């Protein structure tokens, strides 16, 4: 019924300098799922995410988003479906004002100015940042930046929302409001993070990556309480599970 799925089939990727970052990754994420992607530094998480919108194309294997197989020619189409929120909001927010930044994507989609205005208004309302619209990004706090970065992506109304370490720069309170906000989103969500509590809170399913391959894939509750598996991957039990 739904076309909002992401499928990786034996995806391999080699950087130009010869480093093999992905060595055969396969998984399928279906409509409405929330999936956490965890793994040690350098395990290949970021490379994986950059495949989801065609910034990288697999050296071998296939990535399918909806009904479209990712290729050089289908990149733009895939980018309409998949919105990526990058780790550092300073990289994500490259336009001089919040308003310009949030409207950047919709304008590139070729929408009419009225339509764009509406989208921007909606997106900023969703993340509670409407009153920041005329500010330049460097006048925002870390939490506000992250929220606006998310707005800049949801303004394009992607089917699938991909986030890289969304809580990295946030204080505990901003992190908490981010989690609350993420839970209200109906999009298919894919979140890469070291913040396992956040994953446990937001994502029902979890994929563990090590050295470019999937080493575990299943319900977050089971995976994130498996102490040996986590420690093998330079991870620790989520704080909320350590108490018991």
Partner 1 sequence: MSFDEEYFNIGRLDRLSYQDTIVHRLDPRAKVVCTALFLFTVISFSKYEITALLPFFLFPVMLTTLGDIPIGFLLKKIAIVSPFAIFIGIFNPVLDTRTVVVIAGIPLSAGWISFVTILLKFVLTISAALLLIATTSFPGICHALRRLGVPAVFVSQLLFLYRYLFVLTEEAMRLVRAKDMRSFGSRGSSMKVVARLIGTLFFRTVERAERIYSAMLARGFNGDMPSLKEYRFRAVDGLYVSLTVLFLVLFRLYPVTDLFGHFIQEILP
* Residues binding partner 1 (CB under 8 A): 50, 53, 55, 76, 79-80, 83-84, 86, 88, 90-97, 99-100, 103-105, 107-109, 113, 116-117, 120, 134-139, 152-153, 156
Angle at 162 between CA 130 and CA 164, to 5 degrees: 90
Distance in Å, CB of 89 to partner 1, minimum: 10
| For partner 1, the closer CB: 47 or 220 | 47
Q: Which of 183, 126, 116, 191 is nearest to 154 (CA)?
A: 126
Distance in Å, CB of 149 to partner 1, minimum: 9
Give me the residue label for tokens 């399928």.
28
| For partner 1, the closer CB: 160 or 230 | 160
| For partner 1, the closer CB: 76 or 180 | 76
Distance in Å, CB of 64 to partner 1, minimum: 18
Which strands form 82-85's sheet, in the order they lie side by side? 82-85, 160-164, 188-192, 34-38, 205-210, 213-219
| For partner 1, the closer CB: 34 or 103 | 103
Distance in Å, CB of 75 to partner 1, minimum: 8
Contacts of 66 (CB under 8 A, 6+ apart): 3, 4, 5, 81, 159
Cβ contact 15:58 at 8 Å: no
């Amino acid at each position: 019924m739904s076309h909002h799925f992401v499928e990786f089939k034996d995806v391999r990727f080699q950087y130009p300098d010869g480093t093999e970052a992905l060595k055969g990754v396969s998984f399928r994420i279906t409509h409405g799922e929330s999936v956490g992607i965890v793994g040690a530094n350098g395990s290949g998480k970021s490379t994986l995410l950059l495949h989801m919108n065609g910034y990288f194309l697999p050296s071998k294997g296939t990535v399918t988003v909806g009904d479209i197989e990712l290729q050089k020619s289908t990149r733009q189409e895939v980018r309409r479906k998949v919105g990526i929120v990058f780790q550092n909001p300073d990289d994500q927010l490259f336009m001089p004002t919040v308003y310009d930044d949030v409207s950047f994507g919709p304008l590139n989609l070729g929408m009419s100015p009225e339509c764009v205005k509406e989208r921007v208004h909606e997106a900023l309302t969703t993340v509670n940042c409407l009153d920041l619209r005329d500010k330049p990004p460097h006048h925002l706090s870390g939490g506000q930046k992250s929220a606006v970065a998310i707005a800049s992506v949801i303004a394009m109304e992607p089917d699938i929302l991909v986030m890289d370490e969304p809580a990295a720069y946030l204080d505990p309170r901003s992190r908490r409001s981010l989690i609350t906000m993420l839970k209200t989103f109906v999009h298919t969500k894919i979140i890469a993070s070291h913040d396992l509590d956040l994953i446990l809170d937001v994502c029902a399913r979890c994929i563990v990556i090590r050295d470019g391959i999937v080493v575990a894939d299943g319900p977050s509750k089971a995976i994130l309480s498996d102490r040996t598996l986590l420690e093998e991957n330079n991870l620790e039990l989520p704080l909320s599970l350590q108490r018991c």
